Amino acid sequence: MQTGIPCLLMRGGTSRGPFFLEADLPADPALRDQVLLAAMGSPDRRQIDGLGGAHPLTSKVGIVGRGKDAGVALDFLFAQVVVEEAKVDTTPNCGNMLAAVVPFALETGLCEPQGDTTTLRVLTRNTGMQCAVTVATPGGHVTYEGDARIDGVPGTGAPITINFLETAGSICSGLLPTGRVRDEIGGLTVTCIDNGMPMVLIRAHDLDRSGYEAVAELNTDAALKARVEALRLLAGERMGLGDVALKTYPKMCLVAPPRDGGSIATRTFIPHVCHDAIGVLAAVTVATACVLLGTVANELATVPGGTVKTVSVEHPSGEFSVELEVDPGDPQKVTRAALLRTARLLMRGEVFVPASIWKGGAR
């Protein structure tokens, strides 16, 4: 016997995974996580017995419900399903999967379109962060076709604008969780920062790397990965995150001067695998570090002037542009972050899990 659970398989930005209505999953978090592991096929490096794509970027889940707070249309819980471990992490945000939340809500009738565009406020329950998401709904229907292009995704699609609200200190105590723009940790000079994603930024040349290496090269560099992980464990304690050995954050990012016309070059680990691109909130956090005087990123970055700045974050498969606005009276304070993504509905149906795990029924 198996239990069928309605879901939509969606791409959000450069990530992919099934989206569920909150009401269609178990209310108990532990049982819900067991269901998600079975649905995705974890733990298994190929995820052969589930929907997972055998990579962190394609082993993600979105859970959506109606907003419970005043002014909030939708609640979104992001779940990172670990590929080779029986683990589901609902602590961090995911800005890529966030791009598919409003299309999912419109496709399932959870919300109604507002006209040629629809803007809804979304609360990410992982960290309490709110954002305003705008999607194209010409004729009152969500559309996925358009001219917007994002690196890491072939072709073009309809633009989805995400305006982040109050992202500083999403998981940590504040934007600079150590209270400083740079720290000496494990013999390295780093910047610990959280503007949507806890991150540790390290100059690539301090690790005897260029910062322009191919992803495959970095993923087979055992010595580098061991040193980065040792640094991550130390930095996690300094950032007030405790023992992060079993956590997916902080993300580790090697930074270098730009070489393709952007603002800064990056190689990001999430946390043990080098990312083919860079996550949305990781890009926001790196871009923020670029505009803050004294950080390890600021000294390497090429950043435009003015209070509204477009920071282009180079990554292995292209670039990611983030629009930041800084306080005219305090250039060390970022007041707004916005960016553009695309999304697409890939499949609609049911995913089946063994009834021995969950028989379904009322929450």
Question: For residue 165, what pLDDT band results from cuts at 50, 70 and 90?
Answer: confident
Average pLDDT for the chain: 95
Q: pLDDT digits over 7-17, tens only?
A: 999 999 999 99
Q: pLDDT digits over 208-265, tens only?
A: 999 999 999 999 999 999 999 999 999 999 999 999 999 989 999 999 999 999 999 9
For residue 171, give Cα distances in angstroms to 154, 240, 241, 242: 32, 9, 8, 12
Asked whether residue 166 carries a pLDDT value surpassing 90, the answer given is no
CA dist 190 and 183 (Å) reads: 5
The pLDDT value given to residue 94: 92
Burial class (CB in 10 A: 0-12, 13-18, 19+), 72: middle
- The hierarchical CATH code for the domain 183-339 is 3.10.310.10
Question: For residue 102, what pLDDT band results from cuts at 50, 70 and 90?
Answer: very high
- 2-159+343-354, CATH topology level: Diaminopimelate Epimerase; Chain A, domain 1 (3.10.310)
For residue 115, give Cα distances in angstroms to 119, 138, 140, 173: 10, 7, 5, 39
Q: Given this chain, do its domains 2-159+343-354 and 183-339 carry the same CATH topology?
A: yes
Q: pLDDT digits over 324-351, tens only?
A: 999 999 988 898 899 999 999 999 999 9
Handedness of CA 314, 315, 319, 325 (dihedral sign): negative
CB 343 within 8 A of CB 106: no
CA dist 174 and 321 (Å) reads: 23
Q: pLDDT digits over 195-213, tens only?
A: 999 999 999 999 999 999 9
CB 303 within 8 A of CB 293: no
Question: For residue 170, what pLDDT band results from cuts at 50, 70 and 90?
Answer: confident
Helix (H, G, I), strand (E, B) or coil at 219: helix
Token pair 């670990």 in the structure block, residue: 82
Question: For residue 363, what pLDDT band results from cuts at 50, 70 and 90?
Answer: low
The pLDDT value given to residue 125: 95
Domain ranges, ordered by start, for the chain: 2-159+343-354, 183-339
